[in-house]
Amino acid sequence: MSNVSILRQKDMLALLSSGFRADHRKLDEYRKIEIQTSLYEKADGSALVKIGNTVAVAGVKIEVGEPFPDTPNEGILTVNLELLPHASPSFEPGPPDENAIEMARIIDRGLRESKSINYEELCIIPGQKVWVIYVDISVMDHDGNIVDAAGLAALAALLTAKIPEVKVENGSITFLDKKRPLPIKEKPIPVTVAKIGEYLLVDPSLSEEEVSDVRVTFTTLESSLIASIQKSGSGTLTEEEVLKIYDLAYKKAVEIRSKLNELGVENG
């Protein structure tokens, strides 16, 4: 860490010892979360999530495609994330870098392992045509904790996405006028906790992220099952800290999920 970070870490630690953070939040408090859905007509599903000043937009596009050879009767989900240059002076235009790729894969694993989507229901013509669900996340503003904002946006976009009804006759697909919601069973919520010194902070802001050595993202389900874990950053953790972080993450996920439900962001 450069000299500047060390100074800030010292200041940060002094502040944390009093139980509060620079923006007056408690250690286990999230910033204000805003969720808006169905913003972009050309997308089959879309959502914008703000966590404090961090903004992520997710768009879902559902297209007909070919299944993978080893899963001929299953649809496909693919998650991509782009850190737009808009979001930070340090983001350069170009293909996703290791950070963008890591975040996309964390969110992908959370969705995939939670078995939120029943892929067999996405089969159109077995062995030939299936629905391919593209989830593309664009991060517009970076003030810390992109993963949680992006993951929540992806989930909200999927929950409000509409998939066309089709009729299959003699191997040809006809699109009908109706649309139905995507069959989503679980609502995996990623929660990121940063460690600064000995303190565990939920939903790190940009300056907290920069000063932390370790961050852990736990994606949990309603049933308290863990669907994904990712330790990020070049610091270390003890086993006790891992469990403490899980307990924190699960507690916050429950709160966030009920917020999602409140907004009526449900299937259909």
Partner 1 sequence: MNIMVEKQLLLSAEGIRIDGRRVDELRQVKMEVGVLKNCSGSAYIEQGKTKIIVAVHGPREAHPKHLALPDRALLRTRYHMAPFSTDERKSPAPTRREIELTKVIREALEPALLLEEFPKTTIDVFIEVLQADAGTRSAGITAASLALAEAGIPMRDLVTAVAVGKLNDRMVLDLNEEEDEHGQADMPVAMMPSLNKITLLQLNGRLTRDELIEGLRLAKKGIVALYEKQKQALKARFKQTLEAE
Contacts with partner 1: how many residues (CB under 8 A)? 35
- Least CB distance to partner 1 at residue 70 (A): 10
Q: Binding residue for partner 1 (CB under 8 A) from 148, 156, 228, 260?
A: 228
Closest contact distance (angstroms) between CB of 82 and partner 1 is: 13
Which residues pair with residue 192 across a beta bridge? Answer: 217
Asked if 198 touches partner 1 (CB under 8 A), the answer is no
Of the pair 115, 180, the CB lying nearest partner 1 is at 115
Count Cα atoms within 13 angstroms, Cβ side, for 164.
18
Minimum Å gap between C-beta 47 and partner 1 is 23
* Contact stretch for partner 1 (CB under 8 A) within 34-42, 104-112, 122-130, 140-148: 104-112
The answer to the question of residue 233 lying near partner 1 (CB under 8 A) is: yes
In Å, the largest CA–CA distance within the chain is 71
* Close Cβ partners of 265 (under 8 Å, ≥ 6 residues apart): 35, 37, 47, 156, 159, 160
State the amino acid at position 127 in one-letter form. Answer: G
Question: Cβ of residue 115: shortest distance to partner 1, in angstroms?
Answer: 8
Tokens 């669900």: give the residue: 133
**Sites for partner 1 among residues 63-102 (CB under 8 A):** 96, 98-99, 101-102
Distance CA(230)–CA(245), nearest Å, equals: 12
3-state secondary structure of 143: coil
Give the one residue of 53, 224, 258, 261 binding partner 1; rule: CB under 8 A. Answer: 224
**Options 25, 61, 105, 162; binder of partner 1; rule CB under 8 A:** 105
DSSP annotation string for 169-223:
ETTEEEEEEEEEE--B----EEEEEEEETTEEEES--HHHHHH-SEEEEEEE-TT
State yes or no: residue 257 binds partner 1 (CB under 8 A).
no
